[in-house]
Amino acid sequence: MEKTAVVTGASRGIGAAVAGALARSGWRVAVCCEKNRERAEAVCASITAEGGTALPFCADVSDEAQVTALFDAVRGALGEPSALVCSAGIAHWGLFTDMTAAEWDRLFAVNVRGAFLCCRAALPAMIRAKHGRVVLVSSMWGQVGASCEAAYSATKAALIGLTKALAQEEGPSGVTVNCIAPGVIETDMMAGFSAEDKAALCEDTPVGRLGTPEDVANAAAFLCSDAASFLTGQVLGVNGGFIV
């Protein structure tokens, strides 16, 4: 049976890797980005070249009307989604006391409100079908907090709380809700780190390396699979042992 997955933040990094992993697992994938349609199209082209099915979609996940339009478009083009991976997110680095209210609000708008709006759009059909998979991408900093990343840590902690609550609420309807808490992953968010910084982070990671987007994508694909039907409300730390 053909199945459709929506992946937000899928034009690059973890989201793009998740889209590819799901496509290789037989999912038709909605590759969602905020505005960089060319990058989303490139991800789709890569998936198609491997024999998968993927289409690009653009929406600001913090905008209610755009999220509604996004899911309507996905349903029309690929069918009703039975999996949702919320990977869209932004970061902020700096002292908490220097942060503006606008910066704080924008992080919560994308990272938390975006997950809320996408889950709310996807869940009713999953509940009716008595089957569905939701995966929220948090961070290990949502578990333990990070200096100079207070707002980012707070948003990622909120996703963990949302995961645990939704798992309780939607479990009776056959919908699982899980969370991935990546460690230090080699993505664009690491662009500002020097080689020395990265080397130090590798030393702090028991497995001795930084994570890759594919490390997270493999976990997401598993959580969306039938093999994970008895897993819900869990926070899976894909962090190389950085925190345990």
Q: Which residue has the tokens 């309507």?
A: 72
Pairwise CA distance, residues 39 & 232, whole Å = 32
Neighbours of 80 (CB within 10 A): 16
Whole-angstrom distance, CA of residue 168 vs CA of residue 176: 9
Residue 12 appears among annotated catalytic residues: no
Torsion of CA 63, 66, 221, 164, to 10 degrees: 40
Angle between helices 150-170 and 114-129 (to 10 degrees): 10
Q: Which is catalytic among the residues 70, 152, 155, 217?
A: 152
Cα 189 → chain centroid: 14
- Cα distance between residue 115 and residue 118, in whole Å: 5
Cα–Cα nearest to 56, from 16, 88, 2: 16
Pair of tokens at residue 195? 């080689």
Tell me the pairing of strands 235-238 and 175-182: parallel
Per the rule left: phi > 0, alpha: psi between -120 and 50, beta: everything else, 2 is: beta
Which residues are catalytically annotated? 152
